[in-house]
Amino acid sequence: MLRAAFLPTLLLPVTTPAASAPPPSLNPLLAPSTLAFAYPPFDRIRDEHFGVAFEQGMAEQRREVEAILSASAAPTFANTLVALERSGETLSRARSVFFNLAGAHGNDRTRALERQLAPRLAAHADAIRLDPRLFARVDRLFADRAQLGLDPESLRLLEKSHADLVRSGARLAELEKARLRALNAEISSLQTTFTQNVLKEVNASLVWVDRAEDLDGLTPAEVAAAAELARAEGRPGAWALRLLNTSGQPELASLRNRALRERIHQASLARGSRGGEFDNLVVVSRLARLRAERARLLGYPNHATYALEDQTARTPQAVNRLLADLGPAAVANARREAAAMQAIIDREGGGFTLAAWDWPFYGEKERRERFAFDEAELKPYLEAERVLRDGVFFAAEKLFGLTFRARPDLPVYEETVRAYEILDADGRPLAAFLLDLYARPSKRGGAWMNSYVDQSRLLGSRAVVGNHLNVNRPVAGEPTLLTFDQVVTLFHEFGHALHGLFSAVEYPRFSGTKVPRDFVEFPSQVYEMWATWPEVLRHYARHHRTGEPLPEALVGKVIAAGKFHQGYRTTEYLAAAVLDQAWHQLAPEEVPGPEGVLAFEAAVLRRAGLDFAPVPPRYRTPYFSHIFSSGYSAGYYSYLWAEVLDADAVEWFRANGGFTRANGDRLRRTVLSRGGSADAMQLYRDFRGAEPELRPLLQRRGLEPRAEPAR
């Protein structure tokens, strides 16, 4: 996709609600930042700056693109493709800051502007991509590409730009282009509506508790945090629990009150489907239908076929095979796991059948029985600052020679966000990094990496990237203690960050994580391995009060427990991935109306053999933000697809000396620095020296075929 686009002048100006525009000289978004790495001047940026910056940014790019397209000179690589890569600098700067802040620290004003901008920016992009003059120039260069003498990255830019234009509708007739513009505008608006509905409902859907004894099982710090949240919401003397964006909720593993567990779980699963202002059923139905219609207009049978053409998987059939091959074994494992927990319930005289809201609680009981530890024992050894400094950063120091320097002088957009300067192995400044750890009402759920500044040799820019998590902030004076899953997430997101930080490409089109969706998770998932690598684990896992290391016996148990309940984890993931494919493999006329959304979901899971009640999908349709509001539509399978590469790469590391600088430098040279400048699978083969194998993934998830007992 081109990094920016062209907008017709007939559209009305962008306005920031309830704000007057400041003079251009006072708007920090209208010129490159003078801070190190062109780091955004968050302390000077105000909500009212964005509308002006978007308006001016689009106007600037209109002029830049028009100059390219109206030039009398014959098209060349420099005056067309390179010029397009250089265009839209102000717009790109405004977009990166605005949309990153809208997700990390939004408010009513930014959300209103986001809704207004969605169709505007879609139209802006379409006006470039659908301009026949642009396609004529790129098509001519594409036809002559063998004679242009381009270096490999430049040739790839030409080929990908040509493919992007074709996939964007450049060959359609004018009436078809008009319909495509309307589809893109409405799709963009619906995606924004979906995102905002999910966030607003999470903030509004507190689970209230009136009796302290009902919170039995939570730690004193967790109970205090729930009381503080209730006070902040105007109900002192009560307790409030905030829902995360996944189906499962962390409190379910600890709470002894079964009725409260059920209430939390049912509230989680009902999100987006209860009617009222947050209901997403209409949005889902309309969005799926419009995506399918757009795909048909572009010559594809459905949205999944269109989306996957540009991924390493290539076809829905390949994705369907992967999901179908793993599904039966995953569910069989989950049923065995459920039977083991039912045995615990029966032994204790519970008198009930295991339900979804019981699984995390009895899973922890079984974990304690099998491995003689529970999460509560681990958390005192997983203090966030030490995990970051002596775990995540330590691994990067040993593997790549990096040095991390806190930069409290660099401004941040929220008081708990922290900024760092990263020095390369030769001591030269490499990039800037932000860490945004804590959950808050202004922040969307989940964990993610984003880029504030993309690296590009053409533009002379170095990377500024951020990692965002949603860890509950402790009460004042208490340490931030992580679950082990949160530790792994911290490593995972930093793997994404390294993909952006190490980028060393010429063109912004290929910078950092601008790779196929089903490859982008590979660097992040492979970095997870260092969370449990003995040398790294022992370095960061120390008691937050005494400094004592995690007991050696407990280290062994943590590693041994790695396959624990993989049936559950794989089944909940596969259920969501299958739902994604089902929604996006529909023709327009096959998409159910709003009243049929949940019935369609149930039928899909039943046909796939994934309708196992104790294991709900990781995301249900009405709050499945990955596929209805971000770039993972028809792409949620990517985590599993990338895990094939990840598991295979872990085997390579183990066979080649493991945690060494030479191995880190190899990964950086062959994959992390290359971004999207070469075919993703070729980059993997360059690193691995061979094609990936499926066996390591099956072993990791406990999905290898079981030998039949002798008869």
User: Which residues are catalytically annotated?
Assistant: 493
Per DSSP, the three-state class of 663 is: helix
H-only helix segments in 585-707: 597-607, 625-628, 638-655, 661-667, 680-688, 695-700
Residue 297, burial from CB neighbour count under 10 angstroms (0-12, 13-18, 19+): middle
H-only helix segments in 70-107: 83-86, 89-104
* Residue pair 434/419 in contact by the 8 Å Cβ criterion: yes
* Residue pair 450/470 in contact by the 8 Å Cβ criterion: no
**How much helix, strand and coil, in percent to the nearest 5, is found in the chain?**
60, 5, 35
* Residue pair 561/553 in contact by the 8 Å Cβ criterion: no
Amino acid letter at 297? L
Distance CA 554, CA 306 (A): 48
Q: Please count the CA atoms within 13 angstroms of the CA of 575 that sit on its side-chain side.
A: 30
Closest CA to 165 of 148, 142, 199: 142
452-461 residues labelled b (16+ CB within 10 A) or e (exposed)? bbbbbeebeb
Q: Residue 38, by phi and psi: left (phi above 0), alpha (psi -120 to 50) or beta? A: left
Spatial CB neighbours of 302, under 8 Å, sequence gap ≥ 6: 292, 295, 296, 316, 584, 585, 586, 587
Measured in Å, how far apart are the chain's first and last C-alpha atoms? 59
Per DSSP, the three-state class of 420 is: strand
H-only helix segments in 445-544: 484-501, 517-527, 529-532, 534-540
Distance CA 8, CA 476 (A): 52
Q: Residue 617, by phi and psi: left (phi above 0), alpha (psi -120 to 50) or beta? A: beta
* Residue pair 312/516 in contact by the 8 Å Cβ criterion: yes
* Residue pair 558/304 in contact by the 8 Å Cβ criterion: no
Spatial CB neighbours of 13, under 8 Å, sequence gap ≥ 6: 51, 55
Question: Any idea which residue has 């601008």 for tokens?
Answer: 514
H-only helix segments in 528-591: 529-532, 534-540, 552-560, 566-584
Question: Any idea which residue has 């339900």 for tokens?
Answer: 355
* Residue pair 502/617 in contact by the 8 Å Cβ criterion: no
Sign, CA dihedral 102-108-109-111, equals positive
Per DSSP, the three-state class of 432 is: strand
Query: CA distances (Å), 670 to each of 394, 512, 664, 678, 687, in order?
Result: 22, 13, 10, 10, 5
Pair of tokens at residue 317: 């059939």
- Residue 358 phi, psi (nearest 5): -95, -25
Spatial CB neighbours of 386, under 8 Å, sequence gap ≥ 6: 540, 542, 544
Query: CA distances (Å), 385 to each of 86, 205, 410, 547, in order?
Result: 39, 30, 19, 13
